[in-house]
Amino acid sequence: MTRDADATGRQVAVGDDPDVVVLTHPLARHKLTLLRDARTSTGEFRRLARELSMLAGYEAMRDLPVEDVEIDTPLERMTGHRLAGKKLCLVSILRAGNGILDGMLDLVPSARVGHVGLYRDPATLEPVEYYLKLPDDLPRRRCIVVDPMLATGHSAVAAITRLKQAGADSIVFVCLLAASEGIACLRAAHPDVRVVTCAIDRGLDDHGYIRPGLGDAGDRLFGTK
Ligand code: URA
């Protein structure tokens, strides 16, 4: 998989897969670099994650359908646009997903929110589900699944499988950092799911951490160790 960089700062699809989108906007690169820096404080990390998730969410919602709507400005009648089609459901993969939920909700405050609780078995790195709470009308909603790190891809695959079992048929996955292993795993299991990320890193280490990465996103978001 190759990484395309666009000097104009436009978002680009990766390699020959148009459904993997990397944010190349200068603001995204700048904020991601600050996010990665080990000296960044918990409060600053949280703020940056929220800001980056707004930028990624903006990209993830690029193809939302709109319909014409007639409105009156203070000066005259005009045709504007409003979101149409399926309503949205944001789904956070606990716990780190919550760190990028608020930025997304800033963009779409009326979206429903679901939660999938998964932890990684430290030995197998396989996801184990411990919590699931989803709106009951998922077939009528477009789902945006959020998790800051797409590492092995196993958690994302498991979460999306559960969403599909609950009837979801329109799903986008948004993360802040991805490893190409994770992207390949997710795209192989769910080829219908578009991936939006702020960067694709070199790879995974023996503990399943993305390198160079940013460390444990949950710990950095919530100030735990
Ligand atoms: N989860 C994290 O928080 N960091 C990684 O590098 C990989 C998975």
Q: Is 120 a catalytic residue?
A: yes
Tokens of 212: 């160079």
Lining ligand 1 with CB less than 6 A are: 96, 149, 151, 208-210, 213, 216-218
CB neighbours of residue 17 within 10 Å: 16
CA dist., res. 221 & res. 218, Å (int): 5
For residue 13, what pLDDT band results from cuts at 50, 70 and 90? low
Q: Does pLDDT of 99 surpass 60?
A: yes
**For position 11, what pLDDT does the model report?**
64
| Range with the poorest average pLDDT among 53-57, 79-83, 98-102, 116-120 | 116-120
Cβ atoms of 138 and 92 closer than 8 Å: no
Q: State the average pLDDT over residues 197-222.
A: 95
Ligand 1: nearest atom to the Cα of 209: 6
* Local confidence band at 2 (pLDDT 50, 70, 90 cut-offs): very low
Q: Report the pLDDT value the prediction gives residue 225, as an integer from 0 to 100.
A: 83
Q: pLDDT tens digits, residue range 127-177?
A: 889 999 999 999 999 999 999 999 999 999 999 999 999 999 999 999 999
Domain boundaries, the chain: 12-65+84-222
Catalytic residue among 47, 112, 120, 162: 120
Peptide bond into 212 cis (omega under 30): yes
Pocket test for ligand 1, best of 100, 206, 209 (most atoms within 8 A of CB): 209
How far is it, in rounded angstroms, from Cα 58 to Cα 181? Answer: 25
Beta carbons of 131 and 116 less than 8 angstroms apart: yes
- Quote the pTM value: 0.92
pLDDT at 193 over 50: yes
Choice from 214, 222, 225 to test ligand 1 binding pocket (greatest atom count within 8 A of CB) = 214
Q: Supply the CATH classification number for the domain 12-65+84-222.
A: 3.40.50.2020
Tell me what pLDDT residue 17 has.
86
